[in-house]
Each structure stands twice: as structure tokens, then as C-alpha cells.
């Protein structure tokens, strides 16, 4: 038994776009998740969150680095071992309208994993299991013969969760699992995920761009910027004591629910645009937008370092104590 359930070490995923053009989607990302915990991964669109999730579950092959799951190197699994792995790690997708095959009934969608892994011996057992899964996610058994287009977004996402649960996974990658839903439905799905985590002892990698949701659900949180983790800490620590200028800006940009507070609080606006992830220079990637950037930031790339209290930051200003 390994120390951590999932350990990502120096993961790199590049997409070749053409001659001499390499998109650094994920550039040297490392983190670990302990069993039963939820790890939040936040960042703006295009920063590589989804690619991290998809590389971990081996929808993409890693260019460099390792993903250790339960002590096994995910990208080296073959045949039977890989099939076993697909039972242990599952994924919930972002778009509940695209993640269900429009030509199949909900029962068949949920039952796909059961069939692939031959988890049910008899036809009756199979149907019973599908009914059970539907009820676990808060749908009723009559829904088994319906088609995805007959459901609302929230219901579809429940079907997606049931499909992931069908094979009894230990680990679930939630790739923006709630971003496409209405706020009221988001709460329902989050509560369902939390409830399931307690009941089934699940571990989550929770990828999102909604900071409040991540704060609510995660034990640890990492912030990504342009393919790299720039800050990582225990969730409360990160939100109460953000260090990296980008994290501070990100937290300041998120609106507060209380309108009086929202109006009175200081707003720090980040200037500039996210630079292109194609062939980035080996410098601090935030330096082009950072109000504290100095010469060193445009010459070297800072490493992610523990500054105490398990709070990791990749910023020279913090690491060297610039004023």
C-alpha cells in the first residue's frame, strides 16, 4: 500500500501544433491526494486543469512524469491491469448534454461499465444494480428506460455520476462537474457528491473554476496558471492567507455574495491577458502581468516551494521576502 492514493510527479503534457509549435498544456505539475480527501484544482479557462484530469485518468498519454495510483504507474499499465485500473478510477464530465450517448437509454448508459467489466452474473442482477444506482443518485427506477434528451441538466449529471459509480471506483475525477449547471442545481449535485464521499469512502480530484465551490468541498487546493501549479495549500489556509499575486488577484476578482461588503471591499484588478501557452519562455509565467515583477522574474522560473505550514508557492517575491 502506497503512502498516498494518488501521486502526480512532474507531469508534463505537450500538444504539438505544427512545426516548432508546442503547446505546454501541463508543465511539470506535482501533487498528491490521500484516500478519502478532496483535492481542488482551480484556475481560469485554458490553464490546463482539464488536461491534468484527463492525463491522470489516461485519456491522454503523459509526455513526462508519472502518475502513481495505489502505487502503480498509471501510464505503464497494460491489458488486464489497465482494465482493473478503469474500475478504480472514474470521471464525471463537464457537459451533461455531451457526456451521455443520445442513442442509448439511461439504463444502458449506466450499465455500460457493468457489462464491460462483467460485474453482474444474471440479467436480473444487472437490472437490480441499475435501479440501485439510480436510487443512490436520487433518480427513480422508472428513469432507466428513458433517453438522455428527456432529462434536465441536473438529472443528466446525476446519470453521469451513476455511470461513474457503477464500477465501484475509489477515485473520481470531477472535471468541472458542476460548472454547466444552474446555481440551485449545483448545490444539489455538490451535496450529492459530499454524501457519496462519506458513504462510499471516495476520493475526489475536483477541477473547477468556481472558487466558492472549491472552498466548500476541498480539503486541499491548488491554483494553476498556464499549465503550472503556482500555489498549493490546505484549503482554508489558501483562501485566508493567499500568497501568490495571481491567487490574490483571483480571489479578489470573485464576487462576494453580500452586496454591501462587495461594494466596500478593495478590488484589485489584474491587467493584461494570459500569455500564449505555445512555446513559453523558462521564466515566471505570471511575470508579464505581475505588479511586483522584478528582473529576476523575467530571467528565471520560480519553483514551487514550501514556505511553512504545508503552503507551497512558486513566487520569488514570497520565497525571497521582497518588500
Partner 1 sequence: MSNIPIDLPKDAFSHMNAGSTESEIITRPSITFWADARRRLFKNKVAMIGLSIIIIITMLAIFVPIFSQYSYTKQDLTNTNAPPSIEHPFGTDSHGRDLWVRVWVGARVSLAVGIFGSVIPGIIGVVIGGISGYFGGKVDMIIMRFIDIVMCVPNMIYIILITIYIGTGPVALVIAFALTGWMGTARSVRGMILQLKEQEFVLASRTLGASSATLIFQHLIPNTLGIVVVSMTMGVPAAIFQEAFLSFIGLGIAPPIPSWGQLANMGISVFRVYPSQLLIPAVLISVTMLSFNLFGDGLRDALDPKLRM
CB of 89 to partner 1, least distance (A): 8
Q: At what angle do helices 153-165 and 123-136 cross, to 10 degrees?
A: 130
Rounded distance between C-alpha atoms, residue 145 and residue 108, angstroms = 8
Residue closer to partner 1 (CB basis): 83 or 201: 83
- The answer to whether 99 contacts partner 1 (rule: CB under 8 A) is yes
Where does this chain touch partner 1 (CB under 8 A) — which range of 95-103, 121-129, 201-209, 258-266? Answer: 95-103
Rounded distance between C-alpha atoms, residue 165 and residue 294, angstroms = 49
Residue 58 DSSP symbol: T
How many Cα atoms within 13 Å fall on the side-chain side of residue 211? 20
CB of 251 to partner 1, least distance (A): 30
CB of 137 to partner 1, least distance (A): 12
CB of 86 to partner 1, least distance (A): 3
Q: Which of residues 184-203 bind partner 1 (CB under 8 A)?
A: none
Say if strands 171-175 and 89-92 run parallel, antiparallel, or are unpaired: parallel
Using the CB atoms, write b or e for 140-176: b if 16+ within 10 Å: eeebbeeebeebeebbbbbbbbbbbbbbebbbbbbbb
- The answer to whether 100 contacts partner 1 (rule: CB under 8 A) is yes
Where does this chain touch partner 1 (CB under 8 A) — which range of 34-42, 65-73, 98-106, 205-213? Answer: 98-106
- The answer to whether 94 contacts partner 1 (rule: CB under 8 A) is yes
Of 81, 101, 132, 320, which one interacts with partner 1 (CB under 8 A)? 101
Q: Which of residues 26-85 bind partner 1 (CB under 8 A)?
A: 54, 57, 59, 82-83
Q: Which residues contact 62 (CB under 8 A, 6 or more apart)?
A: 11, 12, 13, 55, 75
Contact status, residue 180 vs residue 94, Cβ threshold 8 Å? yes
Residue 150 DSSP symbol: G
Residues at the site binding partner 1, with contacts judged by CB under 8 A: 54, 57, 59, 82-83, 86-87, 89-91, 93-95, 98-103, 109, 112-113, 116-117, 143, 145-147, 149-152, 155, 160, 163, 167
Amino acid at each position: 500500500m502506497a503512502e498516498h492514493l494518488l501521486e502526480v510527479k512532474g507531469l508534463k503534457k505537450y500538444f504539438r501544433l505544427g512545426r516548432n509549435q508546442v503547446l505546454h498544456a501541463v508543465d511539470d505539475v506535482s501533487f498528491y491526494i490521500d484516500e478519502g480527501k478532496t483535492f481542488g484544482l482551480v484556475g481560469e479557462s485554458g490553464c490546463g486543469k482539464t488536461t491534468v484530469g484527463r492525463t491522470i485518468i489516461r485519456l491522454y498519454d503523459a509526455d513526462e512524469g508519472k502518475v502513481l495510483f495505489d502505487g502503480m504507474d498509471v501510464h505503464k499499465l497494460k491489458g488486464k491491469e489497465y482494465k482493473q485500473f478503469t474500475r478504480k478510477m472514474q470521471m464525471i464530465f463537464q457537459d451533461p448534454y455531451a457526456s451521455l450517448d443520445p442513442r442509448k437509454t439511461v439504463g444502458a448508459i449506466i450499465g455500460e461499465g457493468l457489462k464491460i467489466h462483467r460485474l453482474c452474473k444474471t440479467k436480473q442482477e444487472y437490472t437490480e444494480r441499475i435501479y440501485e444506482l439510480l436510487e443512490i443518485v436520487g433518480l427513480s427506477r422508472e428513469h432507466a428506460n428513458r433517453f438522455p434528451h428527456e432529462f434536465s441538466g441536473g438529472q443528466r449529471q446525476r446519470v453521469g455520476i451513476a455511470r461513474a459509480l457503477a464500477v465501484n471506483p475509489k477515485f473520481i475525477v470531477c472535471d468541472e462537474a458542476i460548472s454547466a449547471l444552474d446555481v440551485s442545481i449545483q448545490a444539489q449535485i455538490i451535496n450529492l457528491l459530499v454524501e457519496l464521499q462519506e458513504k462510499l469512502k471516495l476520493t475526489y480530484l475536483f477541477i473547477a473554476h468556481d472558487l466558492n465551490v472549491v472552498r466548500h468541498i476541498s480539503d486541499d487546493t491548488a491554483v494553476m496558471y498556464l499549465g503550472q501549479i503556482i500555489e498549493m495549500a490546505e484549503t482554508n489556509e489558501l483562501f485566508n492567507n493567499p500568497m501568490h499575486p495571481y491567487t490574490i488577484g483571483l480571489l479578489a476578482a470573485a464576487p462576494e455574495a453580500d452586496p454591501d461588503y462587495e461594494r466596500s471591499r478593495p478590488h484589485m484588478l489584474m491587467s493584461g491577458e494570459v500569455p500564449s501557452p505555445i512555446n513559453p519562455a523558462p521564466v515566471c509565467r505570471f511575470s508579464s502581468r505581475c505588479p511586483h515583477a522584478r528582473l529576476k522574474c523575467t530571467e528565471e522560473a520560480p519553483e514551487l516551494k514550501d514556505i511553512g505550514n504545508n503552503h507551497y508557492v512558486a513566487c520569488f517575491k514570497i520565497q525571497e521576502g521582497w518588500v
